Structures are given as structure tokens and as C-alpha cells.
Homo-oligomer: A and B are copies of this chain.
Amino acid sequence: MKIAVLGTGGGARAHIAKLAELGHEVHVGTRAPKATLARTEPDMMGTPPYQQFLAEHPGTGLHTFGDAAAEGDLVINGIDGHNAVAALSAIADQLAGKTLIDYAVPFVYNPDIEHPWPTPWGAMPVLDPCDSDSLGEQIQRALPRTKVVKAFVTQEQATVVDPKAIGGGDHTMFVAGEDADARQQATDLLTSYGWNDVLDLGGIVAARGMEMYAHMHSAIGFALGFGTHFGVKVVR
């Protein structure tokens, strides 16, 4: 299948590598391909330069967001939450009629907000939008011709493409979106990644809960200790 991945961060790379391994034709999009390929140092998150990743994963060369999206029959959005709506709106024509899976958390670090208690893991981000809206809903409103599905966001990046690494794979992935066929497409992709328990939450409004779960995810990760990988299972 022809799948476009927009973004070159850690989460995007996990999908790019896994999709290539599964034999898909992967089209990787980035804002400025030449600049990204010219980098020789790790980024601020410690992610190695893309040229190193490319050397290890042949066939994952970089294109612009628009060129990559135009080639994909299915599109995965790995553009960071703060920039996603603007960057995706600019390529609305290339995304028209397609399923777009989004996993971004709209975290912002706002130094003007006073937090009564510090978090043990440092600066406490807030979500924008939050509670009465979500990034998933914003993207769907910005792209009315695209079938937006929120997924992946409640699990660690490495776990999303390798669920069996945690507890034998017995944990739960969620999908939400307005279009049932698009939710099924996302579910099929997840099944190919190894997921056995994909829970369909229905409409895109459920993206609120999925994004707002980010604080729990941070707290659980910190409580278990850095480097302890975990998943979340809906037991019923």
C-alpha cells in the first residue's frame, strides 16, 4: 500500500521503519527536505539526524508535505500539535478524499500559567485546545474533505508499532473519527502492527479524552521510572 508519513520525529520514524518493514511504499513528508537531510547533529529531543535513519532504512527519502501526501492512499500525521492545523490546511487538496490518522498531543509550555505544584518531571505543559475541543476535531474541521482518525496517542511511540513488546501485547489501542470506514482502515493498519485489541470509540469528539489522557500517561511513566515501558488495557 502507498502510505504517506508527515514528519520525521521519533514517532514518525517508528511508523516509517515499521511500514517499510511490512513492505509498504512509504512517502515521507517534511517541511524543508534539504534542510532536514543536511542536519548532522541530534535534534533537541535527542533524535539522530535523518540522514543516519535514511542510511539504515533505504527507500525512505524525503519529500515536501504536499508531495508526500499526494502519493499516499493513507496518510499518517506526525507533524507536531502546535503546527499541525496550519501545515495540513496548506495541503488540503493533496489530502482530499483520504484517511488521515493523527496522533499529536497539543501540548504547549506556557510560562505565564502559574502551577500551584511543580511536577516531578519538570515543566508542566498544558493542552491547547482542551476539554471543549481537541486537536483531532480542529484538524477535521480544517479538512472537511479528509477522513480524520485519532489514534496511537495513548501509547508510547515504540509500542504503537510493536505492541507485543509490552505484556505480550495484551493491551488496548483506541481509534476515533467521523467515518466508520476510515476507523476500520486505521484498525486494519494497527492489526498489521500486531494489535489484538483495538477499541472503536466512535466519533472524533472522543479525541478530547484521548489527548487529555496525556497527563495520566506522563504521570504513570514517571511513577514507573524512566525507561519502564507500559501499555494500558481496558479490562472487561
A contact residues vs B (CB 8 Å cutoff): 113, 115-120, 124, 126-127, 130-133, 137, 141, 154, 166-167, 170-171, 174, 176, 178, 199-206, 208-210, 212-220, 222-224, 228-236
Flag if A141 contacts B120 (CB, 8 Å).
no
Complex partner residue of A130 from B131, B154, B219, CB under 8 angstroms:
B131
A116 to B132, CA, bound (A): 9
Offer 10 A-B interface pairs, CB within 8 angstroms, sorted by A: A117-B203, A117-B205, A118-B205, A131-B131, A171-B233, A202-B223, A206-B219, A209-B213, A220-B234, A229-B236
Instruction: Report which of B120, B133, B214, B230 forms a contact with A236, defined as CB distance below 8 A.
Output: B230
Q: Shortest distance in angstroms between A80's beta carbon and chain B's nearest beta carbon? A: 18
Q: Given contacts A120-B202, A167-B236, A208-B215, could you give 10 more A-B pairs where the C-beta distance is less than 8 Å?
A: A120-B203, A124-B132, A124-B205, A170-B235, A174-B220, A201-B222, A201-B223, A212-B212, A212-B215, A231-B236
C-alpha spacing A178/B120, complex, angstroms: 12
Query: A16 to chain B: closest CB distance in Å?
Result: 26
Min distance, Cβ A98 to any Cβ of chain B, angstroms = 20
From known contacts A213-B213, A218-B209, A232-B234, infer whether A204 and B117 are also in contact, taking CB-CB under 8 Å. yes
Q: Are B130 and A235 in contact (CB under 8 A)?
A: no
Once the chains are docked, how many angstroms separate the CA of A231 from the CA of B171? 12
Q: Which residue of B lies closest to A208 (CB)?
A: B215
Q: Cβ of A166: which chain B residues have Cβ within 8 Å of it?
A: 235-236
Q: Given A131-B127, A133-B116, do A219 and B204 touch, yes or no (CB 8 Å)?
A: no
Q: Which residues of B contact A212 (CB under 8 A)?
A: 131, 212-213, 215-216
Query: A233 with B236: in contact, given A117-B137, A219-B206 (CB under 8 Å)?
Result: no
Give the docked Cα–Cα distance between A115 and B205 (Å).
9
